[in-house]
Amino acid sequence: MKTPSGYVDIDRLQAETTLEEAAAKCGVTLDAKGSGKEVRIDCPFGCQGDHAGRKELSINTENPQKVFLCHAYQCGFRGNLLTLMHGWLTGTKPTGGKLKGEEFRRVRNLLAGDGVVRDGSTGPKPAETADSPPPEPPHNVPLIDSPEERVRELHNIDKKFLTEPAAMNPAAAAYVRRHPCLSPASMQKWRCGYLPNDGGGDKRGWSLRGSIVYPVLSEEGKVLSWVARDVRYEQNEREWSRLSPAERVGKEPPAKHRFPKGFHRGVELFGQQASRLREPGYRQSIANHGIVVVEGFNDVIGLDNIGIPAVGVMSNRMTEAQGEKIATWAMRLASGRVTLMFDCEASGIEGAKDALWFFAEQGLDVRVAWTPSMHGGKFAGRQPETMIREEWESVIRPYISR
C-alpha cells in the first residue's frame, strides 16, 4: 500500500472524499437512507442497539469532517469520517474509544492513498506492532452482575436505609438537616439514606454503616456502587486544618466520600439513568437548557426536587470520559447544548473552566449558569443544591434558555 510521506491534510481529505468513496476504500458498499444534509446507515461499530437495518447512525454530510453519531442508546458512538472508516474496516470501535496510533495511521493512509482494501488486510494490526497491548478502557460492572456473591448481595441494601433524621445518629441527622434537599421523599426516590450501625443480623455493607449512602446507577438503572458520605467530614476537616505540617506526617487528610476500591468514578455521572427521560417535562427541559452539569450528589437531587434534570461529575473536576458522555447526550437530546453549574466559588469555577474548554473544543454550545460575579453577584458562594424554584425561573432559566 502506498504510504504518503510528509504532511497529510486530513481535514481537506475528509472534506473532499464522499461517503461512497470512503466506503469503497474500506471495501464496503454504502447502504444509506436519506440524502443531502443527513444520511443514515447501519452502525458499523459492533452496535447492540442497531440491528435489523435500523440505520441508527446518522452522518452530517455538510460538515467537512462528516461527523457522525449513533443514536442507539447503548452505543452513542460519534466521530469523524476517519473513525467511521475504522468501523467499516474492523467492525469495532477504536481501541480506547479514540482513533490514534497505528489505528489512526492505517485509515489515514487508506484515505490518502488510492488503494482499496481487500479482505481487511491493509497494514499491520495494532496488536502486532505495539510494544504492549493498549489497556482496556475502564468500566464498571453492576453489583447484581458481579461474579462475587458478597458484592451481588449489596445491590438492594438501600432497603435497609433510614430517611427520617430522628432515626439517625446525631452526626448523620445533623448532616441531613444541613441539606434540606434531602427530604425523606427525595431520599427514597434517589435510593439514598442512612445505613444504621446495627444491622440486626444483616452484616452487609459494614463499611457503609453510620454514613449517608448514595447509589451510582448505570444508564440502565442498575446499582454500580454505593458511595458513603462521611457525616463527620466537616468536623474532621476542621481538626485536620489545625494540625501543623509535622503533625500531619503519616496521616491521611479526611475524605468527604468513600468510593469502593476498583470503582471507576470518572466514567460515570450521578443521575445518568435513562429512566429520568420519562419523567414529566424532563426531555423538554434538557432540550431548552442543554445538559446541566453539576458537581455533587446533593446538587443533582436538589435540582431534581424543583424539576430540573442535571447530572453530577461527583467531584469538582470533570474527567474526559464524563465529558465525552455528556457531549454525546448533548448532541442527541439538546442540539449540542451544555450548561455548567459547578459550585459558585473558587474551586467550582476552576473545574468549570476546564469543562468549558473541553466542550468548546468539541464545538458544543456551552455556557455557565452562574459565576460569583454574574447575576449581580447574587449567587456567590452558593451550591446548586440550594437553588429554589423561584430563583431558577426568574434568573437562571431566562439566562440559559436558548
Q: Which residues bind Zn ion (CB under 5 A)?
A: 43, 47, 50, 70, 72, 75
Cβ proximity to Zn ion, 322 vs 328, nearer residue: 328
CB 71, min distance to Zn ion, A: 8
Instruction: Indicate the SS3 state at residue 379.
Output: coil
CB 287, min distance to Zn ion, A: 22
The one-letter amino acid code at 347 reads S
Instruction: Indicate the SS3 state at residue 229.
Output: strand
CB 177, min distance to Zn ion, A: 46
Maximum Cα–Cα distance for the chain, whole Å?
75
Note the helical H segments in 153-309.
170-178, 184-189, 233-242, 245-248, 282-289, 297-305
CB 59, min distance to Zn ion, A: 12
Instruction: Please report where in the chains the cell 449489596 appears, as a residue.
Output: 154
Question: Three cell numbers at 23?
Answer: 466506503
Instruction: Indicate the SS3 state at residue 281.
Output: coil
CB 332, min distance to Zn ion, A: 12
Torsion angles phi and psi, residue 208, rounded to 5: -95, -10
Cβ proximity to Zn ion, 57 vs 352, nearer residue: 57
Question: Three cell numbers at 179?
Answer: 441539606
Cβ proximity to Zn ion, 72 vs 291, nearer residue: 72
Question: Three cell numbers at 52?
Answer: 435489523
What is the C-alpha separation between 343 and 210, in angstroms, rounded?
A: 27
Cβ proximity to Zn ion, 47 vs 352, nearer residue: 47
Cβ proximity to Zn ion, 51 vs 256, nearer residue: 51
Question: Three cell numbers at 279?
Answer: 419523567
Cβ proximity to Zn ion, 70 vs 344, nearer residue: 70
Question: Three cell numbers at 111?
Answer: 484515505
